Structure 1
Amino acid sequence: MPYSTAYRAATRHQELGPDFYDAVQPAKFPEHILRYRNHYWAERVGLGSLTDEEWIEHFGRFTPLAGSFEQPLALRYHGHQFRTYNPHLGDGRGFLFAQLQDVEDGRLLDLGTKGSGQTPWSRRADGRLTLKGGMREILATEMLEALGVETSKTFSLIETGEELDRGDEPSPTRSSVLVRLSHSHIRIGTFQRLLYLDDKDNIRKLLDYTIRTYMPEAWREDEAARAAAFLEEVCRRVARMGAQWMTAGFVHGVLNTDNINVTGESFDYGPWRFLPVYDPAFTAAYFDETGLYAFGRQPDTLLWNLFRLAECLLPLAEQSSLEQALAAFEPALHREFAGAILRRLGLQSRGFEQDGALAKALWTFLHETKAPFEQTFFDWYGGLASLERAGQSPSAGLYAQAAFEPVRACLEDFAAAPQMRLDHPYFSRTEPCTMLIEEVEALWAPIAGSDDWSALLGKLADIRLMAEAYGVER
């Protein structure tokens, strides 16, 4: 068996039973060209010793992993899409392929797919993923992980040799199948489907399974108290995710309820963008014509989605207790936002009041001056210890303006965090690693034109250098 001693297979999701999924067959692809494998996470879950051919066998042809599911499971869920309820969703081009136990922290991890073929929920779609879409997901997950956002990990990308027709990019275009590693695939929409079906027993079953599997600290003997504690914990986790997005300058693009995971882990990257400068109205999806999911509206949108989760729990708990649980979101968001700002700046906390004052001053500066978003965090990593370095920045003139004085005054109260490393080679440069849309298109162009992947590989190396400099724990 080509697995290491770190390999721990699981089949926990099957405990929910066939009301929650459909066993499916993966597509058969004409070609299998390995384009990306996540070496770090492969080692961590005990699959690093697979040869490339063995890797393709599991993650291109989907031969089952030993001890996990004998057949992939297409998960059932509904959801609000741009606030219109859709009862015809579900895994339409993906499935839950396997589950693994992370031996380092004990978490249950899912291996889920994208582009693996049609399922009962495909709704006449082809069940495929474009190669460009797969490349974009690699870039999103690698960049977010480096910036400290709790995100799914792109585990594998294999080009599959088909030509796909798409209305939103030049066609025909190349095809791929992607595998993601995620903490769970239980979505707000998973609960919504059961409410739509008026299936109280399965709402209870899903609630209890989710608490026992992912958040045992929320367990209460009383059912109503259990539902409220679960909702409060989800609110805290989703608030943390939202705060991390905001401080990374990230716009998810499609914040439908089926794209919000109850464990608070960012996943499922279709249209996404990073801000060039602070702009609350900045959107990622060309079809978001009203700006519903704009950068500045993400926290409110997440809370709206959490209200939809609360509705699903009304068969089990009183409205008043669920409203009290929902009230945990806003203070958690503020607390997590200030903490994420400090982590991005490599500074030690001075308590919520002072942390919040620094976060507010920096956010105001970014808003008023339209200073380059990522450049600002890069320049002031380490706080005033980077005063001289910031003076060499392309943004140095902005820091000399009166608008920056409140930030400078706040920084005087903060010391660098113990893990902060300004001696890292990453900080010897004058500009940070960024991931703006123009860069993404420039990385795709040589792949599309001449199958040249060197620019993408160079970018991934640069992202990992940044992650190392920031001391991000994977």
Structure 2
Amino acid sequence: MFHRPDLPTADLAWLNSSEKGFASLGEAFATPTEPTPLPAAHWVGCNDALRGALGLPTDLWEQQEALELFSGNRLTANQPIYASVYSGHQFGQWAGQLGDGRALNLGAIHTPEGLQEFQLKGAGPTPYSRRGDGRAVLRSSIREFLASEAMHGLGIPTTRALCVTGSPAHVRREEIETAAVVTRVAPSFVRFGHFEHFASNGQIEELRALADHVVTAHFPELQEKQGADRYVALLHEVTQLTAALMAQWQAVGFCHGVMNTDNMSVIGLTLDYGPFQYLDGFDANHICNHSDHQGRYAYARQPQIAYWNLFCLGQALMPLIEEQAPALAALESYKQSFPEAMDQRMRDKLGLTGAHEGDRALAEALLQALQKDHVDYTVFWRRLSVAVRESAQSAQAFEPVRDLFMHREVFDAWCIRYLDRLGPANRQSTGDAMLRTNPKYILRNHLGELAIRQAKTGNFAMVQDLWQVLHAPFDEHPTYEAWAGLAPEWASSIEISCSS
């Protein structure tokens, strides 16, 4: 065990219901590791909506012991804190053993949302930190706190951040920054890379135990299946969840930035917020991670990369499946599921009911028009929604949409096709439905940057205000109207990398 002396135990009643969860698999999976205390810890951001959903005390943010627990300054009483081991492919290359290099797991807690795993990100080195310090910085911690809640608000499966704690302690990255810890919550943090680790090391019984744990905990309907059939069914379920997740990412213009296999969740969650970005001007080839020199994880390539990653998972499961044909059939289902999910997402965004033969071509023509003029992706969809709602009363309803285009004749031609497909639908109700599908607010890079700049001065007000808006991104929030506008020119100069 990585032991740091003199850490007291947190005496918190809600922790008494905790259990091992993933750690019940044993020390081949979970290595007991104590956190490194965070000096002079203080609250940076608190997710009170998640606190309530988890059934945690209403005075949680007033509890000094909670602050210390979520900063890595106290231990849990029921079971040891641990780091898990996994391996994976990074940027398409086998990277070998990786593991929780700066994440420590507190165990699982029974909540109204079901059994939830709690994890500290940035609480010091682990056996898997390699040459890293195990810390996270304030900048990246705020980004994850805001981004995960933004995804939740958008209805996209994700890990969530309960809180961020900060410290004046220095951390060296590309420059000297201050340390922070994010408390993340999810039903599971199991990654494709967990399976790759045990398969690559020939640990077949551990691989089987891991697969059975995932089935029991997250796919109980598969427990009745026996032998290879169970693991084929598991691969199929993960494939379906991943296809659905990719369609959701693409529909809102989300770029993950580092889709390595060790950053892929087996239960279809968005996992590990590093160099992510939501599109400003639409560019299918946008690369949000300035460390991604080859553009492997560009926006348009994400669905293809997910498919590649699923094949890595399938390969890892082959010792349990044995026959290639059923594994391939499970994986090949992605080729149908993703396009179908994407088509439905685009129909929802366009306010179209039913499935017509020309719908995909209509959506593709729109994306080409957006690409041609780099039209702001989120602003376009929101204005289109308003235009549809108001078009029954105003012949000029589409002018604000048209104004987004330099090549207005291209939009005009597309709009004729669109309105013909929309048909005699009730424009008011259709527009209202579109406004519930197309968000007004996303976490634009420049908004996150402004919140981070304020936070570095000790002012966390914008962090909490931005969280409040992103928690309900379809609402109007008139006080924060400026945050729904076009990104300023300086936003394009913001560079985000894997460094955090």
TM-score normalised to the size of structure 1?
0.87
**Pairwise CA RMSD:** 3.1
Q: Distance in 2 between matches of 1:414 and 1:183?
A: 41
Q: Distance in 2 between matches of 1:432 and 1:186?
A: 32
Q: Distance in 2 between matches of 1:193 and 1:425?
A: 41
Aligned to 1:88: 97
Query: Could you tell me which of 176, 180, 183 is aligned with 2:180?
Result: 176
User: In the alignment, does 2:120 pair up with 1:113?
Assistant: yes
What does residue range 182-261 of structure 1 map to in structure 2 within 5 Å? 182-261=186-265
Aligned to 2:143: 136
Residues 1:425 and 1:298: Cα distance change in structure 2 (over 3 Å)? closer
Instruction: Give the counterpart letter for 2:39 in structure 1.
Output: P
Aligned to 2:335: 330
What does residue range 429-448 of structure 1 map to in structure 2 within 5 Å? 432-448=440-456
Residues 1:418 and 1:109: Cα distance change in structure 2 (over 3 Å)? farther
Aligned to 2:480: none
Instruction: Give the counterpart letter for 2:454 in structure 1.
Output: P
Query: Could you tell me which of 16, 21, 24 is aligned with 1:12?
Result: 21
SS in 2 for 1:18: coil
> Identity over aligned residues, as a percent?
26
> What 5-or-longer segments of structure 2 have no aligned partner?
1-10, 478-500
Aligned to 1:54: 65
Residues 1:29 and 1:288: Cα distance change in structure 2 (over 3 Å)? same
Aligned to 1:27: 36
Query: 2:384, 2:398 within 8 Å by CA — same for their partners in 1?
Result: no
Aligned to 2:283: 279
Shift of 1:136: 1.1
Shift of 1:339: 2.9
Q: Distance in 2 between matches of 1:368 and 1:407?
A: 18
Q: Distance in 2 between matches of 1:186 and 1:156?
A: 21
User: In the alignment, does 2:158 pair up with 1:147?
Assistant: no
TM-score normalised to the size of structure 2?
0.83
Shift of 1:65: 5.4
Query: 2:281, 2:375 within 8 Å by CA — same for their partners in 1?
Result: yes
Q: Distance in 1 between matches of 2:122 and 2:81?
A: 13
Query: 1:158, 1:176 within 8 Å by CA — same for their partners in 2?
Result: yes
Worse overlay, 401-410 or 117-126: 401-410
Query: 1:114, 1:128 within 8 Å by CA — same for their partners in 2?
Result: yes
Residues 1:413 and 1:281: Cα distance change in structure 2 (over 3 Å)? farther
Higher relative contact order (CA 8 A, sep 6+): 2
Per-residue CA deviations over 1:263-299 (Å, capped at 9, x if unaligned) read 0000111111111122121111111000000000000
Residues 1:404 and 1:90: Cα distance change in structure 2 (over 3 Å)? same
SS in 1 for 2:107: strand
SS in 2 for 1:393: helix
Residues 1:360 and 1:320: Cα distance change in structure 2 (over 3 Å)? same
Query: Could you tell me which of 308, 313, 320 is aligned with 1:304?
Result: 308
Query: 2:435, 2:474 within 8 Å by CA — same for their partners in 1?
Result: no
Aligned to 1:339: 344
Per-residue CA deviations over 1:109-159 (Å, capped at 9, x if unaligned) read 221121011111111211100001111112211222222221111111000
Shift of 1:425: 12
Shift of 1:454: 3.0
> What 5-or-longer segments of structure 1 have no aligned partner?
none
Count of equivalent residues: 457
SS in 2 for 1:380: helix
Query: Could you tell me which of 109, 123, 127 is aligned with 1:100?
Result: 109
Worse overlay, 386-395 or 231-240: 386-395
Query: 1:152, 1:267 within 8 Å by CA — same for their partners in 2?
Result: yes
Residues 1:334 and 1:386: Cα distance change in structure 2 (over 3 Å)? farther
Query: 2:107, 2:117 within 8 Å by CA — same for their partners in 1?
Result: yes
Query: Could you tell me which of 357, 363, 370 is aligned with 1:366?
Result: 370
Q: Distance in 2 between matches of 1:418 and 1:16?
A: 51
Residues 1:340 and 1:10: Cα distance change in structure 2 (over 3 Å)? farther
Query: 2:384, 2:401 within 8 Å by CA — same for their partners in 1?
Result: no
Residues 1:394 and 1:384: Cα distance change in structure 2 (over 3 Å)? closer
Per-residue CA deviations over 1:68-107 (Å, capped at 9, x if unaligned) read x521110110011111112231011112112123424x4x
